[in-house]
Amino acid sequence: MTAAPVRHASSHGDVDGLVAHLLDPERSRPVAVISCPFDVDEPWIDVQRIHEDVGDLVDVWVLTDKRATWYFSDGMPELTQVYGGAGRVYPADTTWQTDPYASPLHLVMTPAEGKRSTVRMISDALTMAVAAGLVAPSTPSAAMTSHTGEVMGTVGTRAFVRLESGETATIWSELTVPGVDIDAILAKGQTVSGLLDSNSRRLDIRPSLVQRDDAVAAYRPGDVVLARVEKVGASWVVVLPFPELSVRVPSQFVTDDPAEDLTDLFTTGEVVRARVGALNPLRLRMDDVGPSDEPIPAPSILPGGPPWITRPKPRPKPVPEPVLAQARDDGRPTPLALAARVGGGVSHPGLERARVAVATRAAEARAAAEAAAAAKAKEAEEAAAQARAEAAALEEAERARRRAMIPKPGPPGMKRPSALKPGPRPGPVPGRPTAPSSVEGESGIPGAEGALGIPTVDGVSTATVVAGEEAAAKPTTPAVPEGPKPITPTKSEPTASELHNLVAVWENRAKIEADRNTSLRQDLEDDRRALEAQRNQLDEAAREKNRLQNQVGELRTRLREAQSEGRKWKRTSEARDESGDGVADIVADRFADPVEQLRWEVYVDWVTRFGPAEKAGHPLPPPEEWGVGPRYIESIDTLQGVDRGKVVSVMVEVLTKLAEQLPGRKLHQLRTSSGGGTEARTTAEGATMWRAAIQRGSPGARALHYARKGKFIEFDQVGVHDDALL
């Protein structure tokens, strides 16, 4: 299958098309949607890696900017959006529209989180592709050939295999058995066979998987087996003794209390023990499984592989973690406290909903702050540019005005003022005021402008020069002298000084806006650090939630086992009450040989004590593995203060190893003296001596003494606790 190219959504039309595609109930492929961080142009999630790994099974889309992100969020159902650098894979079905947790959101706040989210999104995409039926069992083709190899090891959800050719291939757990860790499928050194895709170098081992009926074919009624809880309801629990093999167990085979809510006893994903009640079809029960019932190993998914599930080991005592603040200085609760209240340490949807809500508000606040900062920066830049443009226009107008004041060339024959040769300056013209002969340009350079802005030539006003020439060309006419008239400078445009002041004002305004922009960016950085701190608190809350969930699971297991053990003792007590003085009275005097009689009583007690399913968990050793010593029968016959049936029952507990689980038996080895640390007492044959209490509470309490060597048990004597032996 050819991988479709990565598609980018930036416009309204692109986003509308993506939303319509996601909401289409006829869509047949999962879709991965990735957004860009608000202040970064490229996603921190590795789009190219996702496309290379799963692009032939999943459509990959990128929301290119903030605007596209908001368009997308507006068109999607609540809690199903993607924003602020996060990513999400949407399954091919429509369950995610009503259950957002069917499409996990992978939040990304740093590039490092982007790498982790990339791996998680690839895993989600592959799992959803398998669920959509896009990864059918492979058949050999031009691009796929049969190979055998050895597993070198596992990393994450991948196993690396060295093929017989020396090349390396990978096995993906999501494409093998979804929902099962790779370490539960393969083990280092295991030999595997499958079909190799020469393009992706993936080895498909599904043709070698053990079929579920073959996996449980070795089960027998009475076997205690392991299973994983798939679903749980108030009156039922569904368990998986093998992948894709679901067995429903009604509450009557879990507890004696019909009002018991099984959701208080089981957790989804928990590994439990159950007893096989029947085969074809497989039936399981858990009401008679106790702490002493050891399960048989779970079947393997591949021939020669590890058990697909194992009994969880007891968790070590947790190291106390730092106490996080539950309230701010103003008394308001922190996000950790809110998450704890919502999640309650147990409710997954509540905590996830709180995390999504906090992240959404954080993303919106971050986007608003960035938008405000960008707007202020743009406004400052536009104001500065406008100031510079206005200043340039004013300067250009001033230069044009000055150029306009320079006289144009006169009629033919008239010399240009600039072409005048140096010589004596003309005298004043009668009847026309002239500027003082000392008037020069402001710079003191000939040709510069005068103090009143009038152009000069050689320090003499051009107007004076022209007037002198005109006077010389005309006849002198006496005129009545007129008084001097003041010359008023024209001031229709700003002066250079005013222009400089105006530019300084605008530059100062631009600096203020730049400082304000810097302050906004600093506030944005502070908000970002605060959001990161909140994210860390949420992560701490999630870890605490997981720890509490594990504790709850352990407590539920212990509760079930305690209830099962209680039901056993209840049935045993009821059987004894119905039989009067005990089993021994019913079977008394059946054999002439006292040893054979005792063996018969032991057998009957074992038969009546354990139910059909319990016998497999507490088997009675064959006759050749136990016996009685020369003084044992006499010690029973002369025993006072305890019933013979009670002694027989303790013998059964010793033979079935049940005494090792019962605190009341106080099972312990005998020592050569009462001092601590002394050597164990042994017989001449090397057997170790043991004592099991029959009674408790007084120095004269009766006890059962026996010797053990290997598997063989020999009952020696029944007497008071302080009896000396051997």
pTM, two decimals, is: 0.47
Q: Output the 3-class SS for 615-631.
A: CCCCCCCCHHHEEECCC
Structure-model confidence comparison of residues 588 and 503, the more confident one: 503
Q: Is 254 within 8 Å of 237 (Cβ atoms)?
A: yes
Query: How much is the pLDDT for 271?
Result: 92
pLDDT for res 362: 59
At residue 445 the predicted structure's pLDDT band, cuts being 50, 70 and 90, is very low
- 410 or 226, greater pLDDT: 226
Q: Which of 97-101, 111-115, 696-700 has the lowest mean pLDDT?
A: 696-700
CA dihedral 236, 241, 247, 250 (to 10 degrees): -30
pLDDT for 574 equals 53
Per mean pLDDT, which range of 8-22, 42-56, 461-475 is the poorest?
461-475
405: how many CB neighbours lie within 10 A of its CB? Answer: 13
Q: What is the pLDDT of residue 652?
A: 93
Q: What is the model's pLDDT at position 169?
A: 92
Q: What pLDDT is attached to residue 713? A: 94
Mean pLDDT across 107-120: 89
pLDDT value of position 716: 92
Question: Is the CB of residue 383 less than 8 Å from the CB of residue 516?
Answer: no
Residue 612 pLDDT grade (very low, low, confident, very high; cuts 50, 70, 90) = confident
Query: Which range, of 99-103, 226-230, 418-422, averages the lowest pLDDT?
Result: 418-422
pLDDT band, very low/low/confident/very high, at 55 (cuts 50, 70, 90):
confident
Higher pLDDT, 148 or 55: 148
- Whether the per-residue pLDDT at 255 is higher than 80: the answer is yes
451 has a pLDDT exceeding 70: no
Q: Pick the most confident of 315-329, 361-375, 401-415.
A: 361-375
List of residues 6+ apart from 443 with CB closer than 8 A: none
Q: What is the pLDDT of residue 449?
A: 43
Most confident of 111-125, 362-376, 415-429, 500-514: 111-125
- Whether the predicted pLDDT of 457 surpasses 60: no
pLDDT of 554 above 50: yes
Residue 608: which H helix or E strand, with range?
A: helix 594-609
> What band does 280 get if pLDDT is binned at 50, 70 and 90?
confident
Short-list 677, 675, 707, CA closest to 692: 707
Task: Calculate mean pLDDT across residues 304-316.
Answer: 80
> Under a CB-based contact definition with an 8 Å cutoff, are residues 426 and 472 in contact?
yes
Model confidence at 414, pLDDT cuts 50, 70, 90, reads very low
Q: What is the mean pLDDT of residues 110-114?
A: 88
- The torsion angle over the Cα atoms of residues 424, 429, 430 and 434, rounded to 10 degrees, is -110
* DSSP-derived pairing of the beta strands 87-90 and 105-106: antiparallel
Look at phi and psi of residue 327 and say left if phi exceeds 0, alpha if psi is from -120 to 50, else beta: beta
Query: Model confidence at 656, in pLDDT bands (50, 70, 90)?
Result: very high
Mean predicted confidence (pLDDT) in 112-128: 90
pLDDT at 365: 62
Among 33-42, 165-174, 342-351, 647-656, which is the least confidently predicted range?
Answer: 342-351
Q: How confident is the model at residue 231 (pLDDT cuts 50, 70, 90)?
A: very high
Quote the radius of gyration of the chain (alpha carbons, Å): 48
Q: Measured between alpha carbons, how far is 609 from 579 in angstroms, rounded to an integer? A: 12
Instruction: Answer whether residue 215 shows pLDDT above 80.
Output: yes
Mean per-residue pLDDT for 200-218?
Answer: 89
Q: Look at residue 86 in the predicted model and tell me its pLDDT.
A: 93
Cβ proximity of 47 and 54 under 8 Å: no
At residue 637, does pLDDT exceed 50? yes
pLDDT of residue 685: 86
- List the one residue out of 687, 715, 695 whose CA is nearest residue 602: 715
| Confidence check: pLDDT of 89 > 90 | yes
pLDDT of residue 299: 94
Question: What pLDDT is recorded for position 627?
Answer: 93
Q: How many residues does the chain have?
A: 726
pLDDT of residue 387 exceeding 90: no
Q: What is the mean pLDDT of residues 597-613?
A: 86
CA 672 to chain centre: 59
Q: Please report the pLDDT score of residue 59 as a whole number.
A: 93
Which helix (H) or strand (E) segment holds residue 400: the answer is helix 348-405
Q: Determine the pLDDT at residue 141.
A: 52
Could you tell me what percent of the chain has a pLDDT over 70? 68
Stronger pLDDT, 42 or 499, i.e. the higher one: 42
Mean pLDDT confidence for 492-516: 77
Average model confidence (pLDDT) across the chain: 76
Residue 52 has pLDDT above 60, yes or no: yes
Query: What local confidence, expressed as pLDDT, does residue 527 receive?
Result: 73
Mean pLDDT within 450-458: 43
Q: What share of the chain is helix, strand, coil (3-state, %, to 5)?
A: 40, 15, 45
Nearest to 650, CA basis, from 583, 588, 712: 583
The answer to whether 725 and 681 have CB atoms below 8 angstroms apart is yes
pLDDT band of residue 662 (cuts 50, 70, 90) is confident
pLDDT at 317: 52
Q: What does the pLDDT average to over 206-233?
A: 91
Average pLDDT estimate for 1-21: 87
Q: What is the pLDDT of residue 721?
A: 56
